Structure 1
């Protein structure tokens, strides 16, 4: 049994444009972000999706709708919301400039960092998530275990809903997509920031999963 997953990052939001941590906070799509959704829809237009899902955050829901607007293959017309595929919750760091967050994280590591991606490259997604949790003075932020528990539940849900050969679209978030890549033993991919509107393609098997594309914003299917 193999389910074909197409996991797309939402389009650009105003927080993305301003380089602010977003997490469970929500900011509307920019005009460029709307175009990211439409462009992804054009690239995926010829795929019939047996299921379409998004996280329950507005930016993901709206991006999924823009993708479906350009689908020509009798796919569902509205995404089903799955909270399990939300972004990591950044707690007290929500809405904070990303460079400030990276500098703060340096106080909890053995090296100094100026960007979030540098932190991920050095320590990996799991340790980065755990460091964010450690640095959050109110203990709101999710750690790696909390984040992966819910995302794993999301994958189990998809397996229960679908059968061999189904094509499934999921609109999710950058850190979540990178974290999934690392859980599938692809730290080399997780080190790359995911572009808005880009996709990760996964063959979801009963007890494993394989990545065939990552950060792809050019392939027309």
Structure 2
């Protein structure tokens, strides 16, 4: 009897269904109250915009972090180095879009309002579970095929599966994409990512 160890991997790429846009507010001023007031107005506008998107069912979720302010020293321009204090107020608002055709226009809108943005792509939990089940089964089949090949090379056949163990294989990173733009918005094209869903298993087999 021969013990065979074989590994099988399966992966698929699924078009993202959600886009989480993070808007970062940062307002710097020598006047502390002015910094806080300007950042607060921008922060509240972002929250209202996110609520509008949820109300129109274009977004499924949003969150708003607390505003924070810190002070630091800087030097005024000129021949004499004059120390001044500046105050920076910042916050973060996130909104998860389900209508991906709005991503480009919204990013442009937020950028023009004076915030820094970034986009994270994801699948819904239901979709991820469906594909995870498929690729787990495919990974088990791939491992068994490798074991059968080794057994055949030895002039044997697999008689029993001793164990199957799952190996963390990452997944979720955007790896491929295609372009989609907001119709008629004049906004630059945005890339909608494909999400990798993968699984790797190691099997132990007995062959005779």
TM over 0.5: no
User: Which of the two has greater strand per residue?
Assistant: 2
TM-score, normalised on structure 2?
0.23
User: Which of the two has greater helix per residue?
Assistant: 1
Structure showing greater Rg: 2
TM-score, normalised on structure 1?
0.22
Which protein, 1 or 2, shows the higher relative CO under an 8 Å CA cutoff with sep ≥ 6? 2
